[in-house]
Structure 1
Amino acid sequence: MESTKQTLLVGGLLVDVYSHPTSSSTDPIHALFFLHGRFGSAQDSNVVNTIKAIFDESYGPGSGGGERKKDLIPVAFVSHTSSPVNHGSRLVDQKRKSEGLAKNNHQHAVDMYTIQTGTAEDVSFLIDHLPSFLYPSGERTIVGWGICGVSLGGNSTWIALSREPRLTLGIPIIGCPDYTKLISQRAQSSSIPISPPYFSTSFKTYIETHDPAQLAYRARDASNPFLGKKVLVLSGKEDKIVPWVASAEFVDGLEVGEGGVKRVVVEEGVGHEFTSGMRREAGLFVREWLSGAVL
């Protein structure tokens, strides 16, 4: 059975909210934000196919993930986070959208990071206000929030997880939690110095203060923003765009505590792609979340 979609305008953001035809009218709800990658849109096949895969696992016959106890509403952005600044309906400068780090594009590094941090801020904004638009009379209650993102959306997923305590589940797919390592590799391959005008002092200071890799992600106390969260990391071993080596140290050292879950799948022979195997892993992880198996 096909899922249904409704589009809401929340504070100027167009948001697509999906629901499964067999959803009950009384079960508690978990909401899962889905953030697509660079050059994508909320309507592209990655979004639609991933939501279908997650619904198939969550609402299909039992497959080891436990019985679903909560309903799920996937949430995809149309005009802001999922089609971020200078993307989709917000496209202003095609050149700055298309070009990577290069001699004639001084803004690439900061462009990419401001998109990612803006996305994370929009997720928090929607957690604040989406329930009022979905259920204006208090018909149902969203009791859990999760986030899943691919590529650029995967980078945003890491940032959102590190900043928004209400997000309890995160699935970063072919993304990276360490912006300094990622962009340094790109700068080196493009013969770009890690200095102005490509990397301003204020920008480097911001990264060194706020990036997930600069936080207390190894700690076992309240200073660690990832403690207690459920994280599924999906990456390709042969990824040249977002190399696994840029993420490995962070992921290996990431501490989620006794109440958290850390699961890592790095597919052999896979580059910068969102594979069917990754979709299945994401679907199973969400199923466990809905059943309470990873809570």
Structure 2
Amino acid sequence: MKQTIVIAGLQVHIHTTDDHATSSRPILALFALHGRLESSERMQDLISAMLESAGKQDQRSRDLIVVTFDQRNHGSRLQDLNANEDFKQNARHAIDMWTIQSGTAQDVSFLIDYLEAYLFPLGERTIVEWGVAGRSLGGHSAWMVAAADPRVRVVIPMIGSPDYLELIEPRAKSNGIAVAAPHFPDSLLKVIRSKSPAALPYTSKEPENPFLGKRILVLSGGAADKLVPWAASQTFVEELEVGPTGSKEYIVFEGVGHAVPPEMLSAAVDFVMKAL
């Protein structure tokens, strides 16, 4: 079942199991974030697989809702198609891609603030846990949400990277572009080097590490993924510390390019079902 609501001008789609209306279970709300040049409709394969599996779990202690919306400058929010293109068409690619994923992370936190009020104004249901899954651009955004919002506990980046500079610098150099102004303004690099997940104390066991206590499943293509290679995530993921109350799993699908095949979807579904 799908319900669309408008929150401060943003169209938000709520996807639920068939028994959602008659249930009183607490809720896990999972944001599903689409990729570059796509829209929220592109996440239907993940949505359907998640809800079908959740609906079959009669003994689950929680219900699942999946939340989608169009990322900034995508789908119904598109303002400038060229801003979504790569360096070959768009000299501001490094700026545009960072601001889109950063803005999307802010949109998720904004919706966490207010979604329950819109869905359950009488307090009839409670969202007890938040999660985010995303593919490609949505995977980058998922990492940023995990780094920025302590309320998000379930995190599934698919073919996305937590280290923006590790991803974008080789892409720039392959196009003959230096990591310097005007393509990489100093003001942009300053923000990235303070807010990128890779700029945070992600290897620490101290409280300042924003990933402590989170349950993270990383799904990546292998060397065949030329757009977001595993090398752009590997060091971060292997060194990431989530502490004794968190969990970290990562699966590298060798031979898989920049795509989310059925086996990757199945791994994401299984991971979320463990939280219900």
The two structures have a TM-score, normalised by structure 2, of 0.96
What is the SS of the residue equivalent to 2:210? Answer: coil
Deviation at 1:39, TM superposition (A): 1.1
In 1, Cα distance between equivalents of 2:72 and 2:46: 23
In 1, Cα distance between equivalents of 2:93 and 2:193: 18
Q: Aligned letter for 1:95?
A: N
In 2, Cα distance between equivalents of 1:58 and 1:266: 25
**Partner of 2:37 in structure 1?**
39
**Partner of 2:189 in structure 1?**
204
- From 2, 5, 8, give the equivalent of 1:8: 5
In 2, Cα distance between equivalents of 1:114 and 1:212: 14
1:58-77 pair list within 5 angstroms: 58-60=54-56, 67-77=59-69
Shift of the 260–88 alpha-carbon distance from structure 1 to 2, 3 Å rule, reads same
Q: Aligned letter for 2:131?
A: G
**Partner of 1:147 in structure 2?**
132
- State whether structure 2 residue 17 is matched by structure 1 residue 20: yes
What is the SS of the residue equivalent to 1:264? Answer: strand
In 2, Cα distance between equivalents of 1:183 and 1:9: 34
Q: Aligned letter for 1:40?
A: E
Deviation at 1:61, TM superposition (A): 5.5
In 2, Cα distance between equivalents of 1:159 and 1:7: 25
Deviation at 1:6, TM superposition (A): 0.4
Deviation at 1:93, TM superposition (A): 2.0
Can you give the 5+ residue segments of structure 1 that lack an aligned partner in the other structure? 78-82, 291-295
**Partner of 1:127 in structure 2?**
112
Given that residues 242 and 248 in structure 2 are in contact (C-alpha distance below 8 angstroms), is that contact kept between their aligned partners in structure 1? yes
In 2, Cα distance between equivalents of 1:217 and 1:33: 23
- From 195, 203, 220, give the equivalent of 2:205: 220
> 1:117-158 CA deviation, whole Å, 9 max, x = no partner?
100001010000011110111111111000000000000000
Q: Aligned letter for 2:129?
A: G
Q: Aligned letter for 1:124?
A: S
In 1, Cα distance between equivalents of 2:57 and 2:6: 34
> 1:234-284 CA deviation, whole Å, 9 max, x = no partner?
011021000100100000000101100101011111010011001111110
In 1, Cα distance between equivalents of 2:140 and 2:62: 27
1:121-270 pair list within 5 angstroms: 121-237=106-222, 238-270=224-256
In 1, Cα distance between equivalents of 2:229 and 2:206: 30
- From 78, 81, 106, give the equivalent of 1:91: 78
- From 39, 50, 55, give the equivalent of 1:54: 50
In 2, Cα distance between equivalents of 1:229 and 1:153: 18
- State whether structure 2 residue 262 is matched by structure 1 residue 276: yes
**Partner of 1:110 in structure 2?**
95
What is the SS of the residue equivalent to 1:224? Answer: coil
In 1, Cα distance between equivalents of 2:73 and 2:24: 40
**Partner of 2:28 in structure 1?**
30
> 1:145-203 CA deviation, whole Å, 9 max, x = no partner?
00000000000000000000000110000000000110011011101000110000011
The two structures have a TM-score, normalised by structure 1, of 0.90
Q: Aligned letter for 2:202?
A: Y
How many residue pairs get aligned? The number is 274
Q: Aligned letter for 2:34?
A: H
In 2, Cα distance between equivalents of 1:273 and 1:68: 31
Given that residues 174 and 236 in structure 1 are in contact (C-alpha distance below 8 angstroms), is that contact kept between their aligned partners in structure 2? yes
Deviation at 1:20, TM superposition (A): 0.4
Q: Aligned letter for 2:47?
A: I
Can you give the 5+ residue segments of structure 2 that lack an aligned partner in the other structure? none
Structure 1 vs Structure 2 CA RMSD: 1.3
Given that residues 227 and 255 in structure 1 are in contact (C-alpha distance below 8 angstroms), is that contact kept between their aligned partners in structure 2? yes
Runs of 4+ in 1 over 3 A off after TM superposition: none
Deviation at 1:96, TM superposition (A): 2.4
Given that residues 59 and 68 in structure 1 are in contact (C-alpha distance below 8 angstroms), is that contact kept between their aligned partners in structure 2? no
